[in-house]
């Protein structure tokens, strides 16, 4: 890998790719985190308003929880 990085004839795209492989794991993780944040930054957060209750391990709106409880009877 170092030969590729040190070779002045190596195309910049390949040099970048090899440098990424040679980077310590923590740097790669941090780079991945930043890429994920950038990828999802353009999406607006989903906001659901209302009162929720946990039913069978899932959070559901209170009105739906009441409907499911009446269906079980």
Question: What is the per-residue pLDDT across 52-68, written as a single tens digit (0 to 9) for each?
Answer: 666 666 666 666 545 55
Q: Which residue has the higher pLDDT, 59 or 38?
A: 38
Buried b (16+ CB within 10 A) or exposed e, 32-63: eeeeeeeeeeeeeeeeeeeeeeeeeeeebeee
Question: What is the per-residue pLDDT across 6-37, written as a single tens digit (0 to 9) for each?
Answer: 899 999 899 888 887 877 878 888 889 999 88
Q: Which residue has the higher pLDDT, 43 or 9?
A: 9
């Amino acid at each position: 890998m170092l030969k590729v990085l040190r070779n002045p004839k190596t195309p910049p795209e390949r040099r970048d790719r090899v440098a990424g492989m040679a980077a310590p794991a923590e740097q790669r993780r941090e780079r991945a985190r930043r890429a994920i944040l950038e990828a999802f930054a353009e999406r607006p957060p989903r906001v659901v308003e209302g009162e929720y209750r946990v039913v069978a391990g899932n959070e559901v709106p209170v009105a739906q929880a009441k409907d499911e409880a009446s269906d079980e009877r």
